[in-house]
């Protein structure tokens, strides 16, 4: 069990590292997500073949999964865009509003009752978000895009909670990754004409892009997801949910560590100069993370019915 918990924390650490990888890559966000989903879907197809798992499903189900994949693409594009427009810390603070978004969307889409404690935790999150926005006014656009990305992720999670009941996790994720890749490829003509300022698509890799994309697709997506599915068979949903909530904590801590090494001259990382945050940012972020981390604890205390844990989609 100790080894399983260590693996789980390592996977959450990898998911927290994705924002840092996005900052290190030179490929623009749209092209970045195209490469990530292309490489990830290829890796998942190889994994399905290696395990001898069935991948064929009804055409109607294929279209549904591909459509949800387009939503994943939109979430990841806005996530990496937020990391470029602001600091990693601000991006992850915005992404931590995922629990708030989920508490708003689940009653609307799944027709469940509104839970009082989620309203209270949501208000704490809103106060924290306000403090972060006031403390980092120069990064307001990036924070707004990160909050939008969290909303898209919450919408995906709610929709996926229905789909996971009829599809094995690996097959489900393969079709969603393929759908994400396909939707971006279809969007390329419009994107290239209206959103690249005349530069066109920038699909070429430069410097260490090959390394960061390999880590992002192979380690942070295929490996992390397939391993998390196995761990969920042995670790309780409560423990997994509690651990996954540490993702922003790990990500912000790593970004702060890289900034410290950069200021000490031990590491050349000018991309992380913006990681120097004000006191107000950390107070606001602490409130957001507090609401996220105590959510499963309050849910258990209130003896609320815990939903079956679905395999988390890495950011």
pLDDT at 291: 85
Q: Would 212 be classed as within a structural domain?
A: yes
What percentage of the chain has pLDDT greater than the value 90? 43
- The residues near 62 (Cβ < 8 Å, ≥ 6 apart) are 175
Q: Would 313 be classed as within a structural domain?
A: no
pLDDT at 121: 84
pLDDT in tens, 75-122: 999 999 999 999 999 999 999 888 888 888 888 887 777 778 888 888
Q: Would 307 be classed as within a structural domain?
A: no
Tokens 């972020």: give the residue. Answer: 285
**CA 80 to CA 217: how far, in whole Å?**
14
Encoded tokens for 241: 């949910």
Q: Would 308 be classed as within a structural domain?
A: no
Q: How many helices (H) and strands (E) does the chain have?
A: 13, 0
For 47-79, give one letter per residue: b (16+ CB within 10 A) or e. bbeeeeeeeeeeeeeeebbbebbbbbbbbbbbb
Q: Would 246 be classed as within a structural domain?
A: yes
Q: Would 224 be classed as within a structural domain?
A: yes
Q: Would 306 be classed as within a structural domain?
A: no
Q: Would 310 be classed as within a structural domain?
A: no
Can you point out the beta strands (E) in the chain? none
The tens place of each residue's pLDDT in the chain, 315 residues long, gives: 788 889 989 999 999 999 999 999 999 999 999 999 999 999 999 999 998 888 888 888 899 999 999 999 999 999 999 999 999 999 999 998 888 888 888 888 877 777 788 888 888 888 988 899 888 888 999 999 999 999 998 898 888 878 888 888 888 889 999 999 999 999 999 999 888 888 889 999 999 999 999 999 999 998 988 888 778 778 876 677 778 878 888 999 999 899 999 888 888 888 888 888 888 898 999 998 888 888 777 877 776 544 444 444 556
pLDDT at 315: 65
For residue 284, give its domain range. 2-301
pLDDT at 114: 76
- The residues near 237 (Cβ < 8 Å, ≥ 6 apart) are 306, 308, 309
CA 200 to chain centre: 27
**CA 237 to CA 86: how far, in whole Å?**
33
Classify the C-alpha dihedral 60-107-103-77 as positive or negative.
Answer: positive
Exposed, middle or buried by CB within 10 Å (0-12, 13-18, 19+), for 281?
buried
Q: How many domains does the chain have?
A: 1
Encoded tokens for 42: 């290829």
The DSSP result for 84-144, as a single string, is HHS-HHHHHHHHTTHHHHHHHHHHHHS-PPPPHHHHHHHHHHHHHHHHHHHHTGGGHHHHH
């Amino acid at each position: 069990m100790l080894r399983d918990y260590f693996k789980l924390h390592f996977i959450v650490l990898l998911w927290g590292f994705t924002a840092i990888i996005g900052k290190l890559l030179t490929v623009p966000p749209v092209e970045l997500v195209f490469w990530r989903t292309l490489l990830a879907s290829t890796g998942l197809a190889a994994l399905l073949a290696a395990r001898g798992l069935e991948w064929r499903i009804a055409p109607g189900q294929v279209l549904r999964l591909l459509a949800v994949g387009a939503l994943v693409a939109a979430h990841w594009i806005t996530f990496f865009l937020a990391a470029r427009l602001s600091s990693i810390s601000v991006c992850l603070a915005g992404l931590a509003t995922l629990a708030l978004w989920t508490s708003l969307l689940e009653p609307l889409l799944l027709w469940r009752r509104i839970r009082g404690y989620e309203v209270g935790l949501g208000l704490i999150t809103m106060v924290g978000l306000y403090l972060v926005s006031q403390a980092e006014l120069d990064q307001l656009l990036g924070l707004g895009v990160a909050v939008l990305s969290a909303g898209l992720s919450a919408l995906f999670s709610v929709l996926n909670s229905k789909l996971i009941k009829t599809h094995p996790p690996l097959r489900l994720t393969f079709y969603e990754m393929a759908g994400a890749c396909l939707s971006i490829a279809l969007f390329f003509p419009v994107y290239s004409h209206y959103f690249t300022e005349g530069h066109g698509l920038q699909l070429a890799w430069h410097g260490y892009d090959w390394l960061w994309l390999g880590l992002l697709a192979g380690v942070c997506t295929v490996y992390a997801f397939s391993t998390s599915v196995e761990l969920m068979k042995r670790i309780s949903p409560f423990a997994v949910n509690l651990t996954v909530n540490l993702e922003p904590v790990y990500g912000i801590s790593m970004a702060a560590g890289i900034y410290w090494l950069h200021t000490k001259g031990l590491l050349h990382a000018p991309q992380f100069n913006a990681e120097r945050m004000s006191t107000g940012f950390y107070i606001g972020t602490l409130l957001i993370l507090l609401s996220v981390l105590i959510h499963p604890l309050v849910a258990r205390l209130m003896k609320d019915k815990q939903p079956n844990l679905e395999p988390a989609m890495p950011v």
